[in-house]
Chains A and B, each alone.
Chain A
Amino acid sequence: MTAPDNMSKRIDFSEMVALIGADDLVAFGGGGLQRKPVAAAAAIARSNLSGLDVASFLGGPEVDLLIGMKKIRRLHFAFVGFDMFGLAPNFRAARQRGELEIVEYSEGLMMTAYEAAAKRLPFLPSRFGLGTDLVGTSTSVFRQFSCPLTGEQLLAVPPLAPDLAIVHVNEADEAGNALIHSDAFADMLLVQAASKVVLTAERIVAEIPSERRGRSTFVSRLWVDHVIEAPGGGGFSAVFPDYRFDLPKILDYQKNATDEAWLSQHIAMA
């Protein structure tokens, strides 16, 4: 059943860009080179926005191209890279020039921060990260404390609450229900942590098909504000089962992406 017109959450990329305010924290879903919202990131990279606060659990090409286009002021992450295909060229270059402010998490700490935001709590306790240098960086948001019940040393992890989360999915309907067939990474926590959620979808369908729900992740419309139909929206990342990663394009990007003229042309087509 198609949603009535007034219930449709369908928007386009320019409307998505208009949702982003100057000091907003924008977060991206997916992980490394899997199911990355590359088309959405390219739309932001082409806009007049700059100085963004960005979060990505396991960052890949989406944050790398935004860094390359000088759109990111500060990045919250547990990982940025191209998985088995190597390092992220602009992230690497910007950090080595001292141009990018970062807040470094571990995977467990970032999931805990999203969960604290989703539960609207001032912090959640964690053991993950204790005793490591993550606690001592100049931008660390974690604070060590004694458990009031047992005395054990723990870390207080404050919420990480994005103003806007952008997640790429396989299928969505106009009401915002969606399916993710591949690894969902931290995306379910992310959509519950964020104030606003935009899904980019390979397909917008009249009704979510039931046959693949067994191992797939279902995103409820109650978490979703807007959907954008974006076939191929994962760029050269893999979107199972729709398409594999595009290795020639990945290698081409890694070779050329620190050249701003090349990158501008690349995002014009993404």
Chain B
Amino acid sequence: MTDTAYTLEELLIARMSKEYRGGRLGVGATILSDLSARLAKTLYVPDLFLTTSSRAAADPEVHAKALSEEWTLDATAKMSLDWEQMFRMIAQHKLQIWIGAVQLDRTGGSNISVIGDWQRPRAQLIGARGIPDDLWGCERLNYHIRTHSPKSFVEKVDFICGFGRSPLESSGSAHPARPGVVISDLGVFDYGGPEGTMQVVSLHPGVSFATVQERTGFDLPDPGPDVAVTAAPTSEELRVIREVIDPEGLRRLESTEGGPKLMLELWERELAGQAVA
């Protein structure tokens, strides 16, 4: 327990750090989830294999997060992990990942490709990227959604990059990933509800179920008055986040403070730090 004041981002990083197991890759596709892997390696899972924006500097020690990662990770990286080897690691369930999804649906379908019709989308996003692959490699896919809204939690995703329940007849030795844990700015969720649907695991401090339901595009089972509250970060976790893995505060880029102005400020500070180093 702690009485120290903390931010939403610090709460999320601390909670996300609890989902890693050792002897595997820990990959965060968003800044907060990347920090959660570093926090996990520092405090809970010392043999976690980190890779960040550059596979050429893989399995490094824990460093402070930077915008130009390669320049800092290079000092302790053990190897260059080429993508073919990485995909064999994925095929053999060695990857653990938090994915930043744009849409998630009731049964765990996920989308980062397009909003609207694929032929002529209302919003073109980044493309399916690695989700269709992670789906056939990871045991579970964990998702991080920054802003909980009826646009992000939808009845059915517009384009299936990852599915929840497998649409395929079970055949062969391979099993697709199950949808794992979902974390938003309101709470923690999983797919343990009726017929594999989304349900509340815990609500962040001060958040009511009514608010969550109002900002979710489908019905959630009511967790009742005894619903768990997401644990506040411990003072040890806060120390590691603030002093070791993110002293410059890059986590703020994924808060309401985020934007070009903050990014430029962090970038200029990083360059200045390099010049004196």
Contacts and interface: CB of A to CB of B under 8 A. Distances in A.
Do A and B associate with each other? yes
Given A77-B127, A96-B124, A108-B130, A248 B172 contact: no
Contacts of A50: none
Contact of A127 (B124, B128, B136): B136
A244 B70 CA distance: 9
Given A84-B253, A150-B172, A251-B260, A107 B130 contact: yes
B199 to A, nearest CB: 23
Interface string B229-270: 000000000000000000000000100000010011001000
Nearest to B30: A84
Interface size band for B: 35 or more
Given A127-B136, A215-B79, A96 B120 contact: yes
Given A34-B53, A183-B55, A247-B264, A137 B118 contact: yes
Interface stretch (B14-22, B159-167, B202-210, B215-223): B159-167
Contacts of A189: 84
Nearest to B160: A133
Q: Select the residue from A79, A107, A109, A240 with max chain B CB neighbours within 10 A.
A: A107
Contacts of B187: none
Nearest to A108: B133
Interface of B: 31, 53-57, 67-68, 70-71, 74, 77, 79-80, 82-84, 87, 90-91, 113-114, 118-133, 135-136, 159-163, 166-169, 171-174, 176, 253, 260, 263-264, 267, 271
Given A34-B53, A95-B121, A129-B133, 15 more contacts: A84-B253, A95-B124, A96-B121, A105-B128, A106-B131, A106-B133, A106-B161, A109-B132, A127-B91, A131-B168, A181-B56, A217-B56, A245-B67, A245-B68, A251-B263
25 contacts: A80-B126, A81-B125, A84-B67, A91-B124, A96-B120, A127-B91, A128-B135, A130-B176, A131-B168, A132-B131, A132-B135, A132-B161, A134-B161, A137-B118, A152-B174, A153-B171, A184-B56, A184-B83, A186-B83, A216-B80, A217-B56, A217-B80, A241-B70, A247-B67, A247-B267
